[in-house]
Structure 1
């Protein structure tokens, strides 16, 4: 009986341990916590007023708002807040162009002069005309990518001149200016981001459908059930538009004097989520057509129908994206149909440092979506690692045993170690740099970072050893080469 009781106890313990180690983590719930952590850490840097943030994964959506639209006003953005999306506007023109191609209204190789009234003999280079494909891929070949008068108007918009004034420049003025421009590069060969191409796409769509562009766009928005998306200048409650800031100063709206093919749309986060879901869930043929690669060059510019950032990642598969930058708003939309994820991030601040913070948040979150359903154990433990490093390292060691649910990130450990080093917590910093080396022994940056630690603490012998080890793993590590020269100059070795 005693033997049976012991055997039974062992079986219970075994199954208990097994169920404990195989405990399923709700990965989506956990990644939403990570989104909150990352967003709040970004705001703590005090360069951004507020954020509107959404992720999509396998049909699940999480959205949240952070900070204040106007600092000190306690006015967190919400579902009714309207944002400028600047150049994201272009992909709507691209989608409508894809629709026109599918309906045989236009072809990509059409000479654009087919749709322009008047003499435009200048719109070619050595017999090669500008085509609709060139308009969609920023490869029109103009000597000056923006005609003179249009540039003057655009500069005035950026300075707030037209905030309370009507425009004296229209699409007809652009069409007249086009008769005087010079094409000095073969169309389709050189990428030069511009707004003229998308506006001409909008104009050509007006010609083939015999409808104003804003009505064509509205019909498309209605199809998508985007009820809170507008062109600036149309009828909407402008009190809902978020104030935006450029280097801390109130920024003017980026109004568009033309048709709205290149910029000028405003929308809410829920409406952008609707557009994201359309891209990832719908079988509408417009989507497949609009993300075809129409242009590629040696500088990694891959462009579809005004979609950019097209590519195929080793882990995530096919992805595409579009960002928008106005005077005071930065927005971004990233879609990865192969891995079924999406990301939207909007901030109502603009400056060099704010943009750097935004990019770190945007691409850091993308990395977590690529790794999903595995979760970044280091990110969850950042506060513990900063304030109780030994306990944080202990928890990391426990979590990394659970390879089903967690992974460790080299960059995160490195960043936290540098935070400790920069705040003079050198002993704790060394512990983390050593942990980085232990977990990533074949990564050049593990040695490079240790090299910098020892250089900072003036242990040049160990610094030199680690920089040389770093070069063994990455012979092109210029940072290591520079510091080796510095150390040799300091020590005379």
Structure 2
């Protein structure tokens, strides 16, 4: 849930031939446990980047999935829980935090394709009751504003900017605390109190409350719960059966433990964020999601990648996906951070490639380290890959 732009060049040809000299890790670097078989060029690339990521004292576990030219690769490092030696697997369940927003954006795109809604609809068309506060000088918040962070809605409801004054505490941890016992009725009560200070669409302001509200609106449009919508429209068609909010007792046995920078295990984050950050998933499921996004064959997928603001030739945003375009090669990505967990999903449609990174440790530098890891892998696998801002 970090701000919008949180954001070594090792040339490695797209044909994946071995480099003349294999990457050599620093001699003093203690290697993390891994299932990497080190049998092919992709293995070698991942080993170097992943061991560098795991070399920091706070690192616990790491799962990496790669889709490249029709092939998938999965690598796991570290452990699912401090104090034991158990590698994650492609079936280990991680929270994906704000990557959830891309799935909420996909649901909106599908609703548009099905002609249930229009991207530019006034959101009040789908709200019960009167909300004269949700426009500014006659300009309303529109549906797509809710998922591209230009709605003008606050970072979180309840709107407590004072709670975030202590910059030594990660914003995701503060948000989790505020959301304990915060109900849907509380959300709509607070929504009536929101004040807009600029025209919707004009100003960037990272907003979990916007994505959460979009989830509620989609529930109303389809007359079913957000989680059921995700299952019916996305996870079932894409065989992503482990991507969900509510975990069964059997799921819980595969749910990884998350830790902060001092090694303290974090409690589970509340599910109230729903469409803004409550989904959990596995590397195996996320690789299916990546392949669907990279292919861009589905109208909804294409719509989520269509810029709704920004410079289409440089940096822009779709339906929550961030997009960077360099020489007509795109990186389409989103990261996510909640207490104990950091995640990143990036698609390169023109390169037929994508990467997902899931970690069970989160501090103020984890998002940057995750981005560095993905950049190193992508750029080495294909020198045309667009670097993510770090």
Shorter-chain TM band: 0.7 to 0.9
Residue of structure 2 equivalent to 1:67: 78
Alpha-carbon distance in 1 for matches of 2:55, 2:135? 52
Q: Secondary structure at the match of 1:216?
A: helix
Instruction: Please say if residues 296 and 302 of structure 2, whose CA atoms lie closer than 8 Å, have aligned partners that are also in contact.
Output: no
Say which one has the larger Rg.
Answer: 1
Q: Does 1:256 align with 2:271?
A: yes
Cα distance, 1:171–1:320 mapped onto 2, change above 3 Å: same
Counterpart selection for 1:359 from 344, 355, 371: 371
CA distance in 2, matches of 1:290, 1:370: 24
Q: Name 1:112's counterpart in structure 2.
A: 123
Q: Tell me the equivalent position of 1:303.
A: 317
CA contact (8 A) 1:156 1:162 kept: no
Q: Does 2:329 correspond to 1:317?
A: yes
Match of 1:370 in 2: 382
**Structure 2 matches for 1:80-479, cutoff 5 A?**
80-142=91-153, 144-148=154-158, 158=173, 168-219=181-232, 220-232=234-246, 237-247=251-261, 248-258=263-273, 260-281=274-295, 283-296=297-310, 302-308=316-322, 310-314=323-327, 317-371=329-383
Shift of 1:158: 3.0
Structure 2: stretches of 5+ with no match in the other structure: 1-14, 20-38, 165-169, 386-390
Provide the residue aligned with 2:44 in structure 1.
33
Contact 1:157 1:254 in 2 (8 A): no
Deviation string 1:296-329 (CA, Å, 9 cap, x unpaired) is 169x762111112x02123x71220010111111
Number of equivalent positions: 344
Cα shift at 1:236: 5.2
**2:11 match:** none
Corresponding residue of 2:23 = none
- Aligned equivalent of 1:431: none
Structure-2 separation of matches of 1:169 and 1:357: 32
**Distance in 2, Cα, partners of 1:231 & 1:58:** 31
Instruction: After TM superposition, give the deviation of residue 359 of structure 1 in Å.
Output: 2.8
Alignment partners' CA distance in 2, 1:104 and 1:275: 23
Separation of aligned partners in 1, 2:302 and 2:280: 25
8 A contact 2:258–2:265 mirrored in 1: yes
Query: 1:265/1:313 Cα in 2 relative to 1: closer, same or farther (>3 Å)?
Result: same
Matched residues in 2 for 1:196 and 1:221: separation? 24
What is the Cα deviation at residue 79 of structure 1? 2.4
- The two structures have a TM-score, normalised by structure 2, of 0.80
**Are 1:77 and 2:69 counterparts?**
no
1:334–1:81 Cα change, 3 Å: same
**Deviation of residue 353 (structure 1)?**
4.2
Relative to structure 1, the CA distance from residue 232 to residue 159 in structure 2 (aligned partners, 3 Å threshold; closer, same or farther) is farther
Please give the per-residue CA displacement for 1:10-69, whole angstroms capped at 9, x wherever unaligned.
xxxxxxxxxxxxx99368931321111221233233331121012221111211101123
Alpha-carbon shift at residue 357 of structure 1 (Å)? 3.0
TM-score of the pair, normalised by structure 1: 0.64
Structure 1 Cα separation of the partners of residues 382 and 241 of structure 2: 31
Task: Classify the secondary structure of the residue corresponding to 1:338.
Answer: helix
Query: Which runs of no fewer than 5 residues in structure 1 stay unpaired?
Result: 1-22, 374-493
| CA separation of 1:206 and 1:160: change in aligned 2, threshold 3 A | closer
How far apart are the structure 1 equivalents of 2:290 and 2:162? 35
CA distance in 2, matches of 1:160, 1:120: 25
Q: Indicate if the aligned counterparts of 1:307 and 1:321 stay in contact, CA closer than 8 A.
A: yes
Kindly state the Cα deviation for residue 148 of structure 1 after the two structures are TM-superposed.
3.4
CA RMSD, Structure 1 to Structure 2 (Å): 3.0
Q: Which has the higher helix share?
A: 1
Q: Give the drift of 1:175.
A: 1.4
Shift in alpha-carbon separation, 1:306–1:340, aligned structure 2, 3 A: same
Structure 2: distance between partners of 1:80 and 1:30? 24
In the alignment, the residues of structure 2 paired with residue 125 and residue 24 of structure 1 have an alpha-carbon distance, to the nearest angstrom, of 53
Q: 1:150 to 1:254 in 2, by over 3 A?
A: farther
1:466-493 deviation per Cα after TM superposition (whole angstroms, max 9, x unaligned): xxxxxxxxxxxxxxxxxxxxxxxxxxxx
What is the match of residue 9 of structure 2?
none
Q: Determine the C-alpha separation between the residues in 2 that align with 1:145 and 1:157.
A: 11
